[in-house]
Chain A
Amino acid sequence: MNGLTVLVQKEWREHTRNFKMLWIPLVFIIFGIMEPVTNHFLPEIMKSVGNMPEGAEFLWPELKGEEIFLSLLGQYQTIGILVIILAFMGTISGERKNGTATLLYVRPMSFLNYFLSKWIVVNGIVLGSVWLGFMAAWYYIEILFNHVDAGEIVAFVATYSLWLVFVVTVVLALSAWLPTGGAAGLAILITLVYQVIDSLIGTYWTVSPWKLSVYASYWFKADSELTNLWMSSGLTVILIVILIVFGVVMSKRNAAKTTV
């Protein structure tokens, strides 16, 4: 346990001092602010800079706060996930390649603690950033749109957080297995590209981690059937545990590949 504390402290220091602890939350907060603000002022923006013909009238749809949350989730699903992959793709493979892992691997530490320390801190940064982003959005939604029930938002964010923990676990497990470039490529394929595939042909199955972001929106709709959400959440938790085990095994197996 002491080993885990030391390694978590090391990860914390690393991400504080390389400013990931600052810029990643900032990215998510900026998106969180931009989404409600631009949607609210879009008619004015289009009027002044949209180059619309004289006298043209465009009927803008009246958006509700809940829809802004879903629109923000769409941004996080693409740009947000890309940020997560690019920021953390070298978490384990990078240490192996630059040789800094060598002086850790020769210590009597467990690879479970090694992997978990990274998993805990990276998830902390990602979830903290996304929560801050949604909170920023909530603030502006309350001012510019309508009131959204706090319970619904918490359930919505919690469901989406589970999907993000899955994304982080995929990125870290791949980083433990492959060199940084390969980990990034495969992570993009699994998290971003497969999302599109799942949305295109995924009607044949209803239980999937890739559907969690869709199921998260069910919290805003009354009388939604939540069975698929719960089953997908259960499957995601199982996959996360399997990926952690895979990541630990790969970290240990690839320890010999560290630069000496």
Chain B
Amino acid sequence: MTTLLQVDNLTKKYVNNNVVDAVSFELEEHTATALIGPNGAGKTTTLSMLAGLVSATSGALQFQGDAKQDIRSIIGFLPQYPKFFPWLSALEFTEMAARLSGVETKQATMDAKKTLEFVGLGDAVNKKTGTFSGGMKQRLGLAQAIVHKPKLLLLDEPVSALDPVGRRQVMDLLKELQQKTTILYSTHILNDAEEMTDQLLFLRQGKLVEHGSLDEVRTRYAEPRIVIEFEGEQELRRFTEVTKWQMTSKGLIVSIDIRSEKVEMSSVLSVLSVGKFLVRKVEWQTASLEDIFMKVAVV
């Protein structure tokens, strides 16, 4: 894998407040990285610095390739709430975005049409952006971000403002794009991060507090347990009397900590079978990304 971007000690200070505090990470080519953190963690500021909108107080960004080139030409940026000139049509806006990124006029028109088709706005190319719904604006935002075929796509909460249907459609588009480009996106919708990520970056109060692949982070914070749901209270009581495993119970559900008890699923199933316990569900569980988020990203 080739490193596309190396970020070293990126810092943004406003008066005495470090909004982004010495953040360092690398982005490999053709990977998707999720920037996770609660509101105010510094996600948008980090993306804005990478997009060239906000200058960093200190730190360095090193892009692969010609050091003299304007990095904005290889970046596509989608803000959380993209705003368009309402008097321009979708095609005019996307074409303008391509031309400003250095694409020749004729090519820009062709690319703009193709890109709008790709994001599902093929029927609305000549509609004024002022008449667009939230979902259409998000798609147009995506179109203007990818029309010049950027090497790095920066997306700020790309689906948080969408309804479930729009969210699904945009996520599918992003997964398709993942094959062609490198994606760094911020989100606090953890399902999205689980769905499309090669690397997770957890930000808290401007600091990078955890990073790694989904599996690495999960292993680090894993709390494997076997969860059993019984038919009734009597069954649950009988089970706790028969076994000596340390467990926690809530209602009709008991949870056995696998690491401390060194229990395997087979032995649990064997006990349940021999004792003819009436159960509704037996399940192996580990920490969800939400559990990890609560531990890592929230103070």
Listed in ascending order, the chain A residues whose CB lies under 8 Å from chain B are: 2-3, 6-7, 9-10, 13-14, 17-18, 98-100, 102-109, 255-256, 258-260
Contact = CB atoms under 8 A, between A and B. Distances in A.
B228 interface: no
Nearest to B69: A108
B44 interface: yes
B177 interface: no
A256 B44 CA distance: 12
B92 A13 contact: yes
B100 A104 contact: yes
Contacts of B52: 105-106
B87 A256 contact: no
Interface string B51-70: 11111000000000000001
Given A13-B88, A17-B87, A256 B55 contact: yes
B73 interface: yes
Given A14-B87, A100-B83, A108 B53 contact: no
Interface in B164-186: none
Highest count of chain B CB atoms <10 Å: which of A7, A100, A103: A103
A98 B97 contact: no
Contacts of B82: 99, 102-103
Contacts of A106: 51-53, 72, 75, 77
A99 B83 contact: yes
Nearest 4 A-B pairs (CB), nearest first?
A99-B83, A17-B87, A107-B100, A108-B70
A100 to B, nearest CB: 5
Given A18-B87, A99-B81, A100-B84, A107 B53 contact: no
Contacts of B97: 103, 107
A103 B73 contact: no
Contact of B83 (A3, A17, A103): A103
Contacts of A108: 70, 72-73, 100-102
B88, B99, B141, B156, most chain A CB atoms within 10 A: B99
Interface residues of B, number: 31
Contacts of B80: 260
B13 to A, nearest CB: 13
Interface of B: 44, 48, 51-55, 70, 72-73, 75, 77, 79-85, 87-88, 92, 96-97, 99-102, 141, 144, 156
Nearest to A17: B87
Given A256-B53, A258-B53, A99 B79 contact: yes
A2 B73 CA distance: 14
Contacts of B75: 106
B85 A14 contact: yes
B96 A6 contact: yes
Nearest to B54: A256
A260 B49 CA distance: 12
B221 to A, nearest CB: 31
7 contacts: A3-B100, A13-B88, A14-B85, A17-B87, A99-B79, A256-B55, A258-B53
A103 B53 contact: no
A206 B141 CA distance: 54
B108 to A, nearest CB: 9
Contacts of A103: 77, 79, 82-84, 97, 141, 144
Nearest to B71: A108
Contacts of B72: 106-108
A17 B72 CA distance: 29
Given A7-B100, A100-B83, A100-B85, 9 more contacts: A6-B100, A13-B88, A99-B79, A100-B84, A106-B51, A106-B72, A106-B75, A108-B70, A258-B53
A151 to B, nearest CB: 41
Contact of A102 (B55, B79, B92, B100): B79
B81 to A, nearest CB: 7
A113 to B, nearest CB: 9
A102 B79 CA distance: 8
Given A100-B85, A102-B79, A260 B53 contact: yes
Nearest to A10: B96
A105 B100 contact: no
A112 to B, nearest CB: 14
A10 B85 contact: yes
Contacts of B156: 260
